[in-house]
Amino acid sequence: MFEFSERLRKLPPYLFVELDRLKAEARAKGMDVIDLGVGDPDLPTPPHIVKAGKRALEKPENHHYPSSVGMMAFREAVVEWFRNRFGVELDPATEVVTLIGSKEAIAHFPLAFVNPGDVVLVPTPAYPVYHIGTLFAGGETYYLPLTAENDFKPDLSAIPGEVLSRARILWINYPNNPTTAVVTREWFAEVVAFAREHRLIVAHDAAYSELYYDGYVPPSILEVPGAKEVAIEFHSLSKTYCMTGWRIGFAVGGAELVKGLVTVKNNVDSGCFQAVQEAGIAALTGPQDCVAEHRRIFDERRRVMLEGLQKLGFEVYPPKATFYLWVRVPEGYTSAEFCARLIKEAGIVVTPGNGFGEPGEGFFRIALTVGKDRLEEALGRLAALNL
C-alpha cells in the first residue's frame, strides 16, 4: 500500500543477493562453509574492556539519556589517545564528538553540509555508506575510481572543473577498505592543499588506522598543519578493539565541521549509551597490548594467506594494513562468476570486488576474520580446484 520514498528506491542494488543465496544453498547441502566475506573480527573484546562495561552498566547515572556530543570523560580520553598516537592536540569541548559507531556519522555527516544538487566526491570501489549518505542528503555523487594504476588513490586532477565547483565534500579512506591501500602524510598534505584551494571538506574514514604491519604506521590527516580548517576524521573502536557490536567511535577535526555533525545528531539521536562510552574509555586509556595482540594475530593470518595464494598463482596486493586481502580473479572469470564458483565448489565465501563499485570488477576481497587453521583449510580447497 505504501511506496518507499525515492531515496530508498534509489539505493544501489544489493549486489550480494545472489551470493547470499549461494551461501545458503551450500549450507543447506551440508557443506562446511568458510566465510571470508564479512569484515567483522572473530576475536572477542578484550576482558578489561568488557569488565569496565559491566561495572558501568551497574551505575544508575548511566541509565539516563546521554548527550549527543558524548561524555566529556570519553572525549578527554580521545584527546589523550590522539596525542599519544598522532601527536595532534584536540580541544575536547569543540573538536571531538562521540559516535554510535562511525557508520551512523558517515551516513549523517552530509546532512550537515550538503544541499540538494551539491556534489560529493566519493571513491569507488568503497564502503557503500559514503554514497548512501550523499543520496539521503539529496546530494549528487561523483565517483573517483581507485585503480591499480593509480595505487588505489583518487586522481584529484582528473575531476572536471564544473563538478569541482559544485563539490562540498571529498571522502577518502586510508588504510583502505576494500583495496588495502595505504598513503603517506605527504599525500594527505596534497589533499588538504587541494581542499583549501577548492573550498572542500575532506572527510577521512580512518576505521583501520590501528591494524598495520611491516613497520608501516598509518598517519592521521590531522597531522598536516592547518588540516583542521578543512578536515574531519572518523574513527572507530570496532576494528581496533574488536568491539563491532558495542557501537562506539568518534569524529575529530575542525570545530565548525564537528559542530555540524553534532547538530544533526542532536536532532536524530541522543548519543551513545554511557556504559559503552565507559568501556570505550577503558579501551583508549588502558593497556594497548591487546591492540598489539590483534595486530599480531591478523599479521600471522595475512602471511599464511598471502604466501598460500601467491603459491597458487594468485595476484595479491600485499597489504600493509587492514584485515583484508585484495586479489585479482584468475583470467577468464568475472568477479561474480569466480566468487560463485568458490562457494559452489569449495564452500569458500569471499566478496566480489564489483560489489564495492564497478572499478572493483576483476578483484575479490578476502576478510581474514577466521583462524589460521581455517585459512589453511581454505587454501587446501583452493589448491584442489586446480584453477
Ligand X SMILES: *Cc1c(COP(=O)(O)O)cnc(C)c1O
d(Cα 279, Cα 51) in Å, to the nearest integer?
Answer: 8
**What is the smallest separation between the CB atom of 15 and ligand X, expressed in angstroms?**
16
**What is the smallest separation between the CB atom of 244 and ligand X, expressed in angstroms?**
5
d(Cα 134, Cα 6) in Å, to the nearest integer?
Answer: 14
Identity of the residue, 123 or 254, whose beta carbon is nearer to ligand X in the bound complex = 123
Q: Is 260 in the site for ligand X (CB under 6 A)?
A: no
The residue within the footprint of ligand X, chosen from 238, 277, 354, 369 (CB under 6 A), is 238
Under 8 Å between Cβ of 124 and 148:
no
The residue within the footprint of ligand X, chosen from 180, 236, 277, 354 (CB under 6 A), is 236
- What's the angle, vertex CA 271, arms to CA 369 and CA 79, rounded to 5? 75
Identity of the residue, 26 or 172, whose beta carbon is nearer to ligand X in the bound complex = 172
Output the DSSP codes for 116-165.
TT-EEEEEES--THHHHHHHHTT-EEEEEE--GGGTT---GGGS-HHHHH
The grid coordinates of residue 351 equal 566478496
Under 8 Å between Cβ of 326 and 317:
yes
Q: Is 207 in the site for ligand X (CB under 6 A)?
A: yes
Q: Could you tell me how many residues of this chain bind ligand X (CB under 6 A)?
A: 14
Identity of the residue, 19 or 237, whose beta carbon is nearer to ligand X in the bound complex = 237
The residue within the footprint of ligand X, chosen from 74, 127, 136, 356 (CB under 6 A), is 127
**What is the smallest separation between the CB atom of 344 and ligand X, expressed in angstroms?**
27
- What's the angle, vertex CA 40, arms to CA 34 and CA 46, rounded to 5? 115
Q: Is 128 in the site for ligand X (CB under 6 A)?
A: no
Residues 318, 321, 325, 328: what is their CA dihedral angle, to the nearest 10 degrees?
-50
d(Cα 291, Cα 240) in Å, to the nearest integer?
Answer: 6
Per-residue x/- track, 11-50, ligand X (CB under 6 A): ----------------------------x-----------
The residue within the footprint of ligand X, chosen from 98, 173, 179, 351 (CB under 6 A), is 173
**What is the smallest separation between the CB atom of 129 and ligand X, expressed in angstroms?**
7
d(Cα 386, Cα 311) in Å, to the nearest integer?
Answer: 12
The residue within the footprint of ligand X, chosen from 103, 168, 204, 295 (CB under 6 A), is 103
The residue within the footprint of ligand X, chosen from 101, 110, 125, 357 (CB under 6 A), is 101
The residue within the footprint of ligand X, chosen from 35, 95, 205, 233 (CB under 6 A), is 205
Phi, psi of 252, rounded to the nearest 5 degrees: -135, 150
> How many Cβ atoms are within 10 Å of 152's Cβ, its own excluded?
22
**Is the bond leading into 123 cis (omega within 30 degrees of zero)?**
no
The residue within the footprint of ligand X, chosen from 141, 177, 277, 351 (CB under 6 A), is 177
Under 8 Å between Cβ of 200 and 118:
no
**What is the smallest separation between the CB atom of 280 and ligand X, expressed in angstroms?**
11
Q: Is 180 in the site for ligand X (CB under 6 A)?
A: no
Identity of the residue, 262 or 382, whose beta carbon is nearer to ligand X in the bound complex = 262
Q: Is 102 in the site for ligand X (CB under 6 A)?
A: yes
Let me know how long the chain is: 387
**What is the smallest separation between the CB atom of 246 and ligand X, expressed in angstroms?**
9
**What is the smallest separation between the CB atom of 47 and ligand X, expressed in angstroms?**
20
Chain residues in the site for ligand X (CB under 6 A) = 39, 101-103, 127, 173, 177, 205, 207, 236, 238-239, 244, 249
